[in-house]
Amino acid sequence: MHPDFGAKRALLLQGPVGPFFRRLADELIGRGVAVTRVNFNSGDQLFFRGPEAVAFRESFTAWPAFFRALVQERGIDSIFLSGDCRPLHKQAIQIAEQLGIRVWVFEEGYLRPDHITVERGGVNGHSSMSKDPAFYLETSGDKPPLPPAFPVGSIFGPWAWYTTLYACALTFLGWRFPHYRHHRNNNAFREAFCWVLGFFRKIRYRFSERRIVGHARTAWSGAYYFLPLQVYCDSQLDHADFENIEQLIETVMEAFAEHADSGVRLIIKHHPHDRGHRDYTRLIKKLGQRLACRDRVIYVHDVHLPTLLKNARGTITMNSTVGLSSMYHGTPVNVLGRAVYHVPGLSSTLSLAEFLQDPGELDVQLYQAFCRWLRDNNQLNGSYYKALDVFGSRAGIQVPGTLPWPDPTDSKRVGTLSVGESN
C-alpha cells in the first residue's frame, strides 16, 4: 500500500468528523494527485474549504447523476470515503464499480488503539479479506513481529470538539444544504442533552459498579460470558441479521437462559458512546424475569473492558472490533454477524447454543498471523482526530513499509495538530 494509494485524480466524499480528509487531501496534492472533494452539508464544509471543494445541494435522488457526471468530467480514478453503509456512499460505490474506479474505504481501526483501517472496495462485512485460515498462516505466520505501533494517546478531547463543531454546523447552518439528511440524528441541542445526561450517568456508574471488577477477577473469573454492546445506530447492523441492539440482547439472553450452565453468568456492557443516548435496564430486567435468569445477568456501563475480556469464559459479539481485543486476551469469541475476523479457528464456528456450553479455545498462532497480516495490509498507524508527527506525512498517518518506522519510545517525534491545521 503506497501513501498516494495509486491515485492520479482523486475524489473525496464524506470522511470522519474533523479535519482528517483535509489533511489527506494535502498529502495527496503534495504527491502530485489532483483532488476534488464533495461537501454534502455545512459540517463537511466547516472542515474542508478551498478550490478543491464542490457542494452538492440537490435532493438524494439527484445524487447518482451528479456523481456520475462529476467523475467522468474530472477523470476520477480513485475515490476515498468513510462509512460504506451510508446511503450516499452506497450509490457512489455501486456506480464506481460499474465505471472501474478504485474505491478506498476508511473505518476505525480493526486493531485498536493507534490504528485506522483503509481497504479497497469495502470494510467489515463488505471486506474482501480471505476467510481461509491457511492464507494467513502461509503469508504472515513466519514473519517476525513488527515494532510496536507509534502511540497516539487519548483522542477523546479532539473527537469531542470536532463532533460538537460538526453538530453545531448541521443545526445552525443546515439551511445552506436544504435537502441533506444525515445518516443519524446529529441535532446540537439533542446531542448536548445526551452528553450532559451521559456525564451524570458516568458519575453514578463509577460508584454503583465499583465492585464488579473485583468480582470479575476473583469469584466470577472464568464463569461468565461477556456481551459488549455496540452503538444503537452502528452501521455494522447492516452486517448482521438484527434490526437493532434490543433484538441482539434478546437473542443472546434467550440462548443463555436455555443453554448456559446454571452457575455461569452473563455480563452485558453498554457502549460508552451510547451512555447518554440509550439505556437497556428495563429491557434486560424484563427479559431476565421472563427467562428466569435475572440474577445471573449483570448489566454494566463503565467497568474496565480489558479486565472483563481477560477473565471471561467467552465473548459474544455482533461484529464489534472488541472481538479482536478479546482474542488478544486469549478469550474465545462467537460472532453473530459478519466480521473480518470471522475465520475458522480465529472466531468460533460453533452455534451460539454450543458456544454457551463449551466455547473451545483460540488458535493463538492463527491470531498472531492474522494481526500481522492486518498491520501489513490495511492498518495505518495513526488517528483521524490526532495527526502523528511522522516524517513525510501531511495526513499524520504512518503507512507500514513506506516511511521510516519511528521509535515508539521517542516522545520528541510525537505531535498533535490543533483545529484547522493540516501540518
What pLDDT digit, counting tens, does each position of 281-310 carry? 999 999 999 999 999 999 999 999 999 999
Is there a domain that residue 321 lies in?
yes
Prediction pTM value: 0.87
- Could you give the dihedral angle defined by the CA atoms of residues 202, 230, 315 and 345, in that order, rounded to the nearest 10 degrees? -150
The DSSP string of 164-213 is HHHHHHHHHSGGGSTT---SS---HHHHHHHHHHHHHHHHHHHHHTTTHH
Which residues are CB-contacts of 89 (< 8 A; sequence separation ≥ 6)? 13, 14, 81, 83
Answer with the residue of higher pLDDT: 68 or 406.
68
Taking residues 43-49, report their average pLDDT: 96
pLDDT at 159 over 50: yes
- What percent of the chain clears pLDDT 70, i.e. is strictly above it? 93
Give the model's pLDDT for residue 391.
Answer: 64
Taking residues 6-24, report their average pLDDT: 96
AA letter at 403: L
Kindly report the CATH number assigned to the domain that includes residue 289: 3.40.50.2000
Sign of CA pseudo-dihedral 351, 352, 358, 364:
positive
Give the model's pLDDT for residue 87.
Answer: 92
Q: How many domains, in total, are found in the chain?
A: 1
Give the model's pLDDT for residue 208.
Answer: 87
| Secondary element (H or E) of residue 364 | helix 364-377
Using 50, 70 and 90 to split pLDDT, how confident is the model at 119? very high
Using 50, 70 and 90 to split pLDDT, how confident is the model at 276? confident
Is there a domain that residue 333 lies in?
yes
- Return mean pLDDT, the chain: 89
* C-alpha distances in Å from residue 258, one per residue of 39, 252, 268, 269, 352: 51, 10, 17, 21, 11
Question: What are the grid coordinates assigned to 91, written together?
Answer: 450509490
Give the model's pLDDT for residue 406.
Answer: 39
Could you say which DSSP state residue 336 is in? S
Is there a domain that residue 232 lies in?
yes
Taking residues 218-247, report their average pLDDT: 90
Question: Is the peptide bond prior to 113 cis by the omega test (within 30 degrees of 0)?
Answer: yes
Q: Domain containing 227: what range?
A: 219-371
pLDDT at 42 over 60: yes
Is there a domain that residue 279 lies in?
yes
Answer with the residue of higher pLDDT: 270 or 423.
270
**Taking the CB of residue 172, how many other CB atoms lie within 10 A of it?**
10
